[in-house]
Amino acid sequence: MLSEQRVRMLNEEMSKLRDHLSNTEKHLNDMRKALDREMNDKIEKRHAAERKAATDKQMAMVKQMHIDQLMTEIAEKNATLEKMGTLLDASAKSKKQEADKSVREVDLLRKQLREERKLKKSAIHKVDDLMAQLYEFETAYSFAQGK
């Protein structure tokens, strides 16, 4: 009964971990899409700045500084995205290890249950044998007393 409860708890935990992994993957995909949109927007802005730079050097310097700042932000976000990917990979590996451990624990519990059942059957068989011997002894004793 306790092992069934343990198995149920482990299954619930695995389900929660799968849900968490799914949510993390969705969040990662959403961030990638947002980053792509942001990169496209920034590239478009940079092209506009370069067209205006031909007519006004001063404006070009200001816009180039802005573009450099945006590129730094993109690089930082790319680094963050890469870190998140690494964390996701580590999380997936950890969850797989936990799931494998859970499977091993369930197998061990099943083996222990089989052993317990085997011992119980053996004990019941021994009790039956002893009861039969006691009955034979009492019958023989009653028969001897009757004579």
Percent of the chain whose predicted confidence (pLDDT) is above 70: 94
Residue pair 28/88 in contact by the 8 Å Cβ criterion: yes
Mean of all residue pLDDT scores within the chain: 90
Q: What is the mean pLDDT of residues 116-145?
A: 92
Residue pair 92/21 in contact by the 8 Å Cβ criterion: yes
Q: Is 4's pLDDT higher than 80?
A: yes
Structure tokens at 146: 């009757």
Long-range contacts of residues 58-61, Cβ cutoff 8 Å, at least 24 apart: none
Nearest to 10 by CA among 102, 111, 108: 102
What's the pLDDT at 15? 94
Q: Quick one: CA torsion of 51, 54, 60, 64, rounded to 10 degrees? A: 50
Distance CA 101, CA 93 (A): 12
Distance CA 92, CA 115 (A): 35
- Helix (H) / strand (E) element for 21: namely helix 2-53
**Tokens 């039969």 sit at which residue?**
132
pLDDT tens, 33-62? 999 999 999 999 988 877 776 677 776 676
What's the pLDDT at 54? 62
pLDDT tens, 81-106? 999 999 999 999 999 999 999 999 99
Q: Is 32's pLDDT higher than 70?
A: yes
Taking the model in full, what pTM does it have?
0.39
Confidence of residue 131 (pLDDT cuts 50, 70, 90): very high
Q: At what angle do helices 2-53 and 57-146 cross, to 10 degrees?
A: 170
What's the pLDDT at 66? 93
What's the pLDDT at 62? 62
